[in-house]
Structure 1
């Protein structure tokens, strides 16, 4: 007797060369697996000559990872599809035909997902995370990826952007049959920390890839340097990944004063909840976002957020949750941080956490996916 299961095609997923790549996809799938058994397929070109299938299990879900040696872009794409078709034939032979295909992030998995759904005459759900629909300028490679996505999105039964702003960007550029916005997941540890509120707020926090093109790091740092003239006690912690070296070069080029600025490398995700409780205000100054999970995690930690409106859930920010800036200059950022810290006593950190709990908790997101699958009569 075969299983009743959803086949998840993950275009992004954590793996040994990049343990945080697509961790938000993993969280979505774990939530879904509380509702219905899941099997995950993830294929990826990596630097090492690995071709062996890696199989792992967690509660109600089985994960197949196929890592293969990187070549040129077209070769990677062709090899991905050749291996994926071979692997998925084996999965279906062992487990039976899935009740639905759920693609997570569109490239390179959406074309594969579309073919599987058509072949087995089963529903296709697509959760998109990419910011490619919001970017004003695309490289040649990005234009090809967008063409690929746009070709297959029209074949999706239900499209699941991760925010209303993300949905609007996708709908403006692509034909979509049906949309159901389901946000990213904030894991339980963020809701379990002891809520703290400082009597003298001065500690600012920014966590991101530190990619200056998207995250606009230099303008954020310029704004902070202006703020220091008004508030000499204020400090900023930057947490990033491999872009730290690049950011340090940019800081030197732009002659950013590093006084009261601390830059640290990648942290285990389990360390972030505690770090957030040690700060007073989270900053985000991006050019574009599809969701911005770190904002939701900040709210779950009871941490107010100051951000500009750059897509994702930034538009949800308000005077109860922090501050949504309308002045996108470094001077405007400095003024807005100063005003937000001046009214810090007004923030109810318990209310901020409750807002996040209702919208982004594991239980809330699992229920949303359960309702979606029920609407397709596959549960």
Structure 2
């Protein structure tokens, strides 16, 4: 982004309203919202209003949790407001309480930040709904970025009345993937632009692949995911069995990074399939170790049943490696020829064939070209540029 453009937007004030936000107890919850707010704070003045429910099944938090705090976090003015929902079975009363707390939080943060020019909410409900309440009460334009895999299954069913109002009243809508955009269009919102998640390019770009790759004759695959059913690890393991045993590709190894409720089940399945020598479950890794494994890999596999985006695919490409991904809603938006390939979801044969195709045609994937593609489209600079263009439209 040019210096002139950055300076012209410097005084703009943007209030970010996330549906979840990282905390000491859960440092990864809502991490994308925090990272985007920090990136935007380089170009405009950003404040974050995090309104979070303390549930009755969290007795320690009900008793001990700090209800309010305001401070600078990595340069971001951040106001956290935690409250107990005493009527969780009443949707109407719960929503009224949320409305009250959002307004309360807004009135607190503007004493320091001043009145924002724009409110930017992440996820239609509850944050989008909260932004709508603030927009109407204080006459401020608001936009919503949708990230939720549960948009149709939850937001448009359990919270349909509230979500529909947000879809109707938002001044601007964006979605992190084309599949999610289609769902928003289907729900009645005609205007919706795809604005992807971004990554820190420097974090994953450690150097030339030829300098850091493991020079053994093993082809190293990597999968990074929370091990739940929707990630399709069972399909991936069965595809790996087919590649190694049925197709005879013995010089291959799959590194599975991540933990989750289904991890033991998948470990058991790998033993049943005779894959002990062909895959390793590493559990959850810290960022430095994840980057190391990514850069020592030859290709990433996304085997998910559903994704709104799948940022791990972008992280892999920032490392210079191609991506094999299922058509699960997110990767279709960024996996192109020469950076990877798409296969059918929940299809063992299709995934196995995709793995074999990548192995047999690996020379066609140029690490530097893959990195350049990511930098041009998914770096923080590229994504912030798109968001800033929207902000300019909203204040005209």
TM-score normalised by length of structure 1: 0.88
Counterpart contact for 2:156–2:164, Cα < 8 Å:
no
Unmatched runs of 5 consecutive residues or more in structure 1: none
RMSD: 2.5
> How is 1:31-180 mapped onto 2 (pairs within 5 angstroms)?
31-46=39-54, 47=58, 48-49=61-62, 50-58=65-73, 61-69=76-84, 72=88, 74=91, 79-133=97-151, 138=153, 143-176=157-190, 178-180=191-193
Q: CA deviation at 1:270?
A: 4.2
Distance in 1, matches of 2:304 and 2:142, equals 32
Counterpart contact for 2:305–2:345, Cα < 8 Å:
no
Q: CA deviation at 1:31?
A: 2.1
What's the counterpart of residue 210 of structure 1? Answer: 227
Q: How many residues align?
A: 368
Distance in 2, matches of 1:327 and 1:119, equals 45
Please list every run of at least 4 consecutive aligned residues from structure 1 whose deviation after the TM superposition is greater than 6 angstroms.
none
Assess, with a 3 A threshold, how the Cα gap between structure 1 residues 21 and 241 changes in structure 2: closer, same or farther: farther
**Quick check: 1:265 aligned with 2:317?**
no
Distance in 1, matches of 2:244 and 2:129, equals 51
> How is 1:1-379 mapped onto 2 (pairs within 5 angstroms)?
5-46=13-54, 47=58, 48-49=61-62, 50-58=65-73, 61-69=76-84, 72=88, 74=91, 79-133=97-151, 138=153, 143-176=157-190, 178-197=191-210, 198=213, 200=217, 202-212=219-229, 214-229=230-245, 230-243=248-261, 246-252=262-268, 255-259=272-276, 260-326=278-344, 328-377=346-395
Distance in 2, matches of 1:67 and 1:268, equals 28
Assess, with a 3 A threshold, how the Cα gap between structure 1 residues 17 and 130 changes in structure 2: closer, same or farther: same
Query: Which deviates further from its counterpart, 188-197 or 329-338?
Result: 188-197
Assess, with a 3 A threshold, how the Cα gap between structure 1 residues 231 and 361 changes in structure 2: closer, same or farther: same
Counterpart contact for 1:12–1:105, Cα < 8 Å:
no
Q: CA deviation at 1:328?
A: 4.7
Matched residue SS, 2:274: coil
Counterpart contact for 1:54–1:64, Cα < 8 Å:
yes
Unmatched runs of 5 consecutive residues or more in structure 2: 1-10
What's the counterpart of residue 7 of structure 2? Answer: none
Assess, with a 3 A threshold, how the Cα gap between structure 1 residues 37 and 248 changes in structure 2: closer, same or farther: same
Matched residue SS, 2:338: coil
Counterpart contact for 1:195–1:277, Cα < 8 Å:
no
Distance in 2, matches of 1:327 and 1:109, equals 31
Distance in 2, matches of 1:167 and 1:376, equals 20
Counterpart contact for 2:156–2:163, Cα < 8 Å:
no
What's the counterpart of residue 5 of structure 2? Answer: none
Distance in 2, matches of 1:65 and 1:41, equals 6
Assess, with a 3 A threshold, how the Cα gap between structure 1 residues 327 and 56 changes in structure 2: closer, same or farther: closer
Q: CA deviation at 1:374?
A: 1.3
Counterpart contact for 1:38–1:60, Cα < 8 Å:
no
